[in-house]
Chain A
């Protein structure tokens, strides 16, 4: 089981028996955090759960996603090595615990200029999900909730001498995804709309959809501009996995679209889900992204796409 699938399994288990209690209080030992410079003043921290982006500058530190709760001390130590300025902003790409678990610790370790804990900014559906996960009873602790939300298609802030753009992509990985673009550093933070370690996790219980996922990948392609030879230029931090550029996102987008098209054809021919699985519509990608164990399994991905395409009502449209 990969690290990513273990994390997603933890999220699923938490959802089944009480989101807050399991994900935020019972945790494995803290991980070691690896830091890599991505572009401009933006760094990627790996090992805390989901990938974390850190932007540093004279005004302070901005953090995108905060990893699992138990890894917050290690994350704070890693950030300290990059900057001794205070954390001023925390942004969340979506609500899953491996991306928001450290919200409280990082927010309280930082401060706004008025001395209050650092702002936590996310799409409003992140707050909706954390405050009352649909059909799952309990909410996450209030200290983990965003303190500031947006409900429009876009939101922007200006920090450390650069524009930081947040783009909401409806019903993609979840219903509250933000793709975040550091315009001067030329770095996109994708959250779990793009990962390099597995097939995409379409969290249908929390508003995700296959077409929204594809739209999100196309949005990243639109934001990214490659340098010479279709290499480098804009860099992309995935929710899980390695630093990428447009060419890498392109191959992933092609893969997801091709699998969507194959299953759509099978749905059109009225194949059952068992027949679809038997036809192996993901065969050419399984040795790279497939898994038979953990949370993001090949079968689970096929089922999610099949379910979505069999009932397209209310799903995002093809762009």
Chain B
């Protein structure tokens, strides 16, 4: 009888301990593989390339108005990429677990993102997200939970930055759901980016990362602004008036992409759009220096 009770107790103990000890570990140094969307992620997109983005008309106007000289403004110079953008960009990251010393339950996953020395916390202790009046950060506020072996993370309180590095903005109303899926030494990261201001439908994209045996490769970011254009009034904000960007139409013409497709939008992200694409006129050479 005693042995039976001991056995039951042992089984019960193992059962309750299982979630803490059988979970997939994502700990380590991870490097991306850029076989997906390489031109967008490494050299960077061309001006006017909104292909594949389910953007709103407002996002397109904002991007067409964007002048890269805006980055010369002192307050823009030291900005970093936000959470939804950076895992699709050039990056390596280190991930480690923070555990409650008494229960050994994971209370948080910490990430060091080597691009711009960013740090990110994914809370695993069930805490709620902050109130809507709390500050926003580049990485936002993240909480995670395991769905089997898939880590699902929800992020809110994200700062405004961009969806694509050519002026397509995201808004501070953005939120993101991510899935981290590990297969041995490969990890697939899937993100679903929602933005009621600049995305007509959620933007879904994925990346693969490989576990590094060697560490290093940190990109330090001791940024200090300078006045890059000394005689410019402080209050000037570089931008193009609607219809006056000298780059309008360049991308579509250079690559032979119909203007409608280059402009992006939800419709252009679906496979059915390929049929329509074949019916669209080829782009004409834009008038230079509008």
Contact = CB atoms under 8 A, between A and B. Distances in A.
Interface of A: 34, 36, 44, 46, 196, 214-215, 218, 221-222, 226, 228-232, 235, 241-248, 250-251, 253-254, 257-258, 261-262, 265, 279, 281, 283-288, 318-319
Nearest to A254: B237
Interface residues of B, number: 43
A235 B135 contact: yes
26 contacts: A46-B133, A218-B234, A222-B234, A229-B79, A229-B138, A229-B221, A229-B223, A230-B75, A230-B223, A231-B80, A231-B138, A242-B134, A247-B160, A248-B136, A248-B172, A254-B237, A257-B235, A257-B237, A261-B239, A262-B241, A284-B58, A284-B62, A287-B58, A287-B196, A288-B172, A318-B235
A318 B173 contact: no
B253 interface: no
A221 B233 contact: no
B135 A283 contact: no
B131 A34 contact: yes
| B contact face: mostly helix, strand, loop, or mixed | loop
Given A34-B133, A221-B75, A243-B133, A230 B80 contact: yes
Interface string B178-214: 0000000000000000001110000000000000000
B79 A247 contact: yes
B241 A261 contact: yes
A287 B234 contact: no
B56 interface: yes
B285 interface: no
A254 B235 CA distance: 9
Contact of B197 (A214, A248, A288): A288
B160 A248 contact: yes
A229 B117 contact: yes
B76 interface: yes
A287 B80 contact: no
Contacts of A286: 58
B117 A285 contact: no
Contacts of A287: 56, 58, 171, 196-198
Contacts of A253: 237
Contacts of A285: 58, 62
